[in-house]
Amino acid sequence: MAGPLIDAATLAQWMVQRLDEGDGPLVVADVRWYLDGRSGREAYAGGHIPGAVFVDLDTALTAGAGHGPGRHPLPAPGAFARAMEALGIGDGVTVVAYDDAGGSIAARLWWMLDVQDHAALVLDGGLAAWPGPLVKEPSPGESPLPAPPAHFTARPWPAGTLADADAVAAATGAVLDARAPERYRGDVEPVDPRAGHVPGARNAPWAANLDPATGRFLPAAALRARYDEFGPVEIAYCGSGVTACHDLLALRLAGLPPARLYEGSWSDWSADPVRPLATGPNP
């Protein structure tokens, strides 16, 4: 299996061949979600890659508020396994995740599968890169095809892949903040209790991993040059542990050692009034 990116032409070929060359079955996952409250499911219904299943960030990839740190805590392993099985994703299935936001949401599903040793890729360029027509959800009165039976082995989230607030505070390596610069500086804060960033954290906006002309990831050499400037990266965070996975994917593409995800991210840190914060463009 190639990875962790796949281009649209290769995906289209795979979907025709159904991975007959020995890579096993394939599930294409639409992981659209919007911070502004728009419905990813409605976007999916309006047009998606043929055969793709919709993966709801808030239900399939999140335990729900109050069941862990921050706005998007990780689900319990058993709950994640059941959510994947309901989508037809089981052991031995290759998952290709996409969105319409540069991979910033799809990377969350990629990371969750990857750390549990399930084959997963992200569609480089996302929905906009798809060369063929899109399909809509079945019209009223029609039923979508049921997901094929699947068994997804539940595994604990590996301890070495996650960080909590105390680990962030004690970090000796670089801590990266994947949010947009205006949120890092504290100029705006649309959803979380306080504005700013973790003191000492460096701003590494996920969007800077992409070529603005194409919407695709930068070449590996360019990503490596970008992340080498931060020194050894220990932890990445964002607003709620979603778009930070884009930086973790970029580290993989750059050939650099993996970093840990701060699960609760700024939504967790900023909710604790005891935790200090910094504002402005500097760490």
DSSP 121-180: EEETTGGGG--S--BPPPPTT--PPPPPP------PPPGGGEE-HHHHHH--SEEEE-S-
138/41 Cα distance (integer angstroms): 13
Q: Angle between the 244-253 and 106-114 helix axes, to the nearest 10 degrees?
A: 60
Q: Which of 53, 238, 244, 259 is catalytic?
A: 238
Q: How far apart are CA 149 and CA 89, in angstroms?
A: 9
Is residue 245 part of the annotated active site? The answer reads no
Q: How far apart are CA 17 and CA 22, in angstroms?
A: 10
152 close to 141: Cβ distance less than 8 angstroms: no
Q: What are phi and psi of 254, to 5 degrees?
A: -75, -10
Residues with catalytic function: 238
